[in-house]
Structure 1
Amino acid sequence: MAKFILIRHAEPRYDEVDERGYFGMGHELGRLTENGEQQAQFRGSDTSLLGADIIISSPYTRALQTAATISRLTNIQLRVENDLHEWMPDMTHTYKIDDFRKLYQEYRDSKGIRKESTVYNWETYEHLKTRLFSVLDKYKHLDKVIVVCHGLIMSAAGDFEQLFDFVEKLEIDYK
C-alpha cells in the first residue's frame, strides 16, 4: 500500500496573465507570489516528505513551481502528470475569469453533480475523482509519493466539502 502525500500548490499571482488578457486555460499560467515562493520552501523543508520515491505534479504553473521547489530542496525526482490539472470550470476551456465565480458556485451548490437545472459545462466531482485515482493507480506500487496539485483535486481524495489552504497537505493510503 502506497502513502500519497497530496500538497496544494503555494499562493499564485495572476496580475501578469490578466494584464496580457489571457483567459480560460491561459489564466492557468500564473506563477507564484513572493509569499507563495516562501510557502513552497517551507513545505519543501517538511521532514515528512523525505524518503519519498517521487514527486508528481500538475502541469499548471503554480503547482509545477511549487513542486520544483520541493524537488530541489528534497532532491526527489519530479514528474509531471497532466491529469493532475485543476478542476475544469468549463469543459470547452473558453470561460472568462469574470464567469468563474458563477461556474464555481454552481459546482459547489450542486456538490459537483450535474442536474437538469445545471447551466454551466463544468467538470463533475465524479470525473475529478476518476482523473485523480487513474494517476495514483500508476504509482501505487511505490512506498511514498508526493503529489503537488490543487485543492479541488485534494477534495476528490477525501471529502467534497473539505477545502485546503496553500501548501496544506493531505496524507492518504491507497492500494
Structure 2
Amino acid sequence: MTQFYLIRHGEPQWVINEQYKLKGHGRDLVPLTASGVNQVFLAARDERLRDADLIVSSPYTRALQTAAILSKELGLDIRIEFDLREWQPDLTFQYDSLERLAELGNDYDANQGVYPPGETKLWESKELLRNRVEKVIDQYLGFQKVIITGHGMAFRTLVGEEAEIPHASISEYTKVNT
C-alpha cells in the first residue's frame, strides 16, 4: 500500500498570461506569487510529509516551484512526470485568454467531464485525465509515502472532490499495489 500526498501548487502569477498574451502550454509557465511561495512553505511543515520517500512533480512551472520548495525543506529528491500535467482545456493548444479558459471549463462542468454521445470536445475528458494521472501513480506503488505536486483538476479526478482544491493544500490518496 502506498500513501500519496497530493499537494496542489501554490498561488500562481496568472497576470503574466494576460500581460504576454500567452497561448496553450505557454500559459503554464507562470511562477508562484510571493503568497504562493509562503503557502508552500507552510505546507512543508505538515507532519504527514515527514519520512516521505520522494517528490513527484508535474512539469509545469507552478508545480515544479512547489516541488523545489518542498524538496529543500524536506530534503527529498524530485522526479518529473510529464503526464502529471494539468487538465487540458483545449487539446489543440490554441486557447489564449481567461475568458476562453472559462468557456471551456464551463462546458466541461456542464457535461460533468464526459463527452456527450457522438460528440468530440476540445477539452480533455475526466476519464482521459484520470487514466493519465493513475498511470503515473502506478509507477510509484513500490514506495511507502510519495508526495505529488500538481494541479487541482487532476487531483479532483483522483479524490472525487467536485469543489476547487485550495492552493498548497494536501489531499491524501491511498492505493494498493495489485
TM over 0.5: yes
In the alignment, what sits opposite 2:73?
73
Structure 1 range deviating more: 155-164 or 8-17? 155-164
1:129 to partner: Cα distance: 0.6
**In structure 2, C-alpha distance between the alignment counterparts of 1:53 and 1:166, rounded to whole Å:** 23
In the alignment, what sits opposite 2:16?
16
The amino acid across from 2:146 in the alignment is V
The answer to whether the Cα contact below 8 Å between 1:10 and 1:40 also exists between their aligned partners in 2 is: yes
- The alignment's TM-score, normalised by the length of structure 2, stands at 0.93
- Map 1:1-12 → 2, pairs under 5 A: 1-12=1-12
The amino acid across from 1:172 in the alignment is Y
Structure 2 gaps, min length 5: none
**In structure 2, C-alpha distance between the alignment counterparts of 1:120 and 1:95, rounded to whole Å:** 13
1:50 to partner: Cα distance: 1.0
In the alignment, what sits opposite 2:31?
31
In the alignment, what sits opposite 2:52?
52
Cα distance change, pair 160–172 in 1 and its aligned pair in 2 (3 A) = closer
- Map 1:164-175 → 2, pairs under 5 A: 164-175=165-176
The amino acid across from 1:21 in the alignment is K
The answer to whether the Cα contact below 8 Å between 2:129 and 2:154 also exists between their aligned partners in 1 is: yes
Cα distance change, pair 114–141 in 1 and its aligned pair in 2 (3 A) = same
1:46 to partner: Cα distance: 1.5
1:160 to partner: Cα distance: 5.1
1:107 to partner: Cα distance: 0.4
Structure 1 gaps, min length 5: none
- The alignment's TM-score, normalised by the length of structure 1, stands at 0.95
**In structure 2, C-alpha distance between the alignment counterparts of 1:172 and 1:28, rounded to whole Å:** 25
**In structure 2, C-alpha distance between the alignment counterparts of 1:116 and 1:142, rounded to whole Å:** 40
- Map 1:6-155 → 2, pairs under 5 A: 6-97=6-97, 98-116=99-117, 120-155=121-156
**In structure 2, C-alpha distance between the alignment counterparts of 1:77 and 1:50, rounded to whole Å:** 14
> How many residue pairs were aligned?
175
Query: What do the CA deviations read for 1:124-171 (whole angstroms, capped 9, x no partner)?
Result: 000011011100110011100000110111111121524200011111
Identity of aligned residues (%): 35
